[in-house]
Amino acid sequence: MKTTDVFGQGYRGGALERMGLGPLDLARLRPGIIYTSINAYGHEGPWAQRPGWEQLAQTVTGVAHLHGEHMGAKAPMLQPGAVADYTTGFLAALGTLIALDRRARFEAAIASGSRCRRP
C-alpha cells in the first residue's frame, strides 16, 4: 500500500472504514493516494449505508419503469446489460484519471460516484 497510486472500491458506505481501509486511513499510509469509491446510493444521505446493485439501481431510479413502458409491457422491465454498473464504472475510471492529473498538478484530489444518488 505504501507505493500504491490508486485504490478503488465499491463497497457500501462505512464498510472499509470499519476495517481500517477508509480514505483517511489509507492517506496516512500513502500520502497522495487516489481513493476512488463507488456505491449504489451515494456517500451521504439516508440510503448511503444500503447495499445495492444493478437491478435495484434501475428500479429505484425509474429506469425499469420507463423501459417497460417503452417496450409496451404492463410492468417494469430491466434494460438488457448492466447500464448503471457499466456507466458508473466508466465514470469512476474517468474520475480517477482526472484525479491523477489534478494530483500531479495540485497535489490533492478526491473522486467518488454512485449508481444512483438519493436526496
Place of cell 446493485: 53
CA 63 – CA 69 distance, rounded (Å): 10
* Catalytic residue of the set 5, 25, 85, 101: 85
Q: Catalytic site residue 5?
A: no
Q: Which of 55, 41, 54, 53 minimizes the C-alpha distance to 13?
A: 41
Q: Write out the catalytic residue numbers.
A: 85
